[in-house]
Structure 1
């Protein structure tokens, strides 16, 4: 028996599949048939959802979900009516939907996700139903120019920590760290300046700056799981007792990342930090300074020009929905 349905596709007018809240999601469902085909209806469903799914150490399953879009429409047929016979050839059924404001950005994590997709189903009188679906990406833009102005200012942190055994002349390590600002966008680099004064009797094995992403998964307002990944880092060598090491605007790259906090989602929170880490050569614990930053989608305007953005920094054309390259990175505990 020849195959009646040759093609059954969901085609978006925006071929990049990237949308912003408030934009129109438009396109068509394309059907190509080889023979006359009776159809009871062509259903179209747009879904946006946030899901958290965690298995605890006791093998308990914790699950929570929230809906952002749940829009259904018929592109062909009416309830209670008989079948419509579709002739051989190509049939195109257009759709158009305004995306709500405030949608959270697409995100895929180990224990949860925010996803958007369209589903369509073609029903025949004989009970056969043809189905297909297509994912699209939503980015909820965060403009640093609309955030608190303090994010445009240098961000400083200082610590004094004693290393060595006190009875044999232990001394302090004094560390001062400055970031060039508190907010960034993917494609920029974080400018790090630091001074590490080793006044102890212990050699510092190395110093390191690392950009980290912390993802928290929530259910009923409580954190049920979290994960932290290192995204990029800079390393420097040892500092002997009595020596000083100066970092002068070292550049820490910001890779493609979803914005801070997944605004609009109440199940998944994302935060970014720069950690400055001092590793002693002895068995003493590392000394860490934590500097929280914001990752946004639109950078600070340069030279007071309201109409242009800083060259070379822009929101990514696609979001990193799947990020397998993170799996090989060490985790900062």
Structure 2
């Protein structure tokens, strides 16, 4: 990280300028019993003096704007910046301008850290490997109780691969065969984000949210429905799992949900995916970016629903 700290002096001043870089992860939760849970871990804690030498007495600056360049090498493996409802990962610089008369002027500036996840370096999540579909889920579910069976539904779901970046779409293919005597009211594919907040190694709060949904209609007894590479669009999102952070876990899944009529419970298939920051390179694009993908220049951390008081 490089930059400069600037200050405006409107008169001659005796001062020292101190610089502090902080990176931290914080979890702050209020339990149903109104107990407060707080945990914190530090990633950076670096201090330096940009102006003034200790023990040499006050120094004089002329009126005007003064800049003090600095350079700091960030440690490898820092977790990405993240803002959540019950916790965050933040990085910021603090400066303190101290005068001999005891007056202190303070300022603070946030900066963003992005720990990249490159799909090209994670071959196990790319999808079809050696001709095998690695992101496929299949289930045969029987309705009714053992003595009064209502038949079964057979469902097969496949994703085009297991890792994506914001701006891409997830290709969902499915085959739903209704071999029961019940009507299936609907089928749904949903991209879901799950955030777990931890304190002392235990999960103290969870957030779960549907980010994108595709829905199809009825499947009558004896009928079959086919999904052919239906597209779930991915909005700007933080990457999977905040690597390097032990207080916050972020996971993404595609759920395929079958809702039967009557009092039968829904059938749910779960396919975990990885949300990365650098897209998969392919022969269709010389630069390695699929059309429409968001190559990261900054990390999307704004999450509009944080201000929605109607949500839990």
Match of 2:204 among 224, 248, 253: 224
Counterparts of residues 1-333 of structure 1 (less than 5 Å): 25-39=1-15, 41-153=16-128, 154=133, 155-164=135-144, 170-303=150-283, 308-325=288-305
Q: Any conservation in 2 of the 1:186–1:316 contact (CA below 8 Å)?
A: no
Q: Deviations over 1:196-232 (max 9, x none)?
A: 1112222111111111111111222222222111111
Separation in structure 1 between the aligned mates of residue 30 and residue 5 of structure 2, nearest angstrom: 38
Q: CA deviation at 1:141?
A: 0.5
- Normalised TM-score (structure 1): 0.85
Q: Which position in structure 2 is the counterpart of 1:6?
A: none
Whole-Å Cα distance in 1 between the matches of residues 188 and 246 of structure 2?
33
Q: Which whole-Å CA distance do the structure 1 matches of 2:257 and 2:242 have between them?
A: 28
Q: Answer with 66-75 or 275-284: which moved more.
A: 275-284
How many equivalent residue pairs? 305
SS in structure 2 opposite 1:242? coil
1:11-40 CA-to-partner distances (Å, cap 9, x unmatched) read xxxxxxxxxxxxxx111111112222221x
**Further displaced range: 84-93 or 185-194:** 84-93
Deviation (angstroms), 1:105: 0.5
Question: Equivalents in 2 of 1:222, 1:306: separation in Å?
Answer: 45
Cα shift readout 1:58-113 (whole Å, capped 9, x = no counterpart): 22222211111111110111223322222211111111111111111011111111
In the TM superposition, what is the alpha-carbon distance from 1:319 to its structure 2 partner? 2.1
- CA–CA separation in structure 2 for the residues paired with 1:276 and 1:72: 50
Distance 2:248 2:121 in 1: 23
SS at match of 1:99: coil
CA distance in 2, matches of 1:216, 1:288: 21
TM-score for the superposition, normalised by structure 2: 0.91
Aligned-residue Cα RMSD (Å) equals: 2.2
> Structure 1 residues 326, 176: closer, same or farther in 2, change over 3 A?
farther
Whether the aligned pair in 1 keeps the contact of 2:190 and 2:255 (CA below 8 Å) is: yes
| Contact persistence 1:44–1:74 (CA under 8 A) | yes
Contact 2:190 2:213 in 1 (8 A): yes
Between stretches 241-250 and 161-170, larger displacement belongs to 161-170
CA contact (8 A) 2:84 2:306 kept: no
The 1-side partners of 2:212 and 2:261 are apart by 23
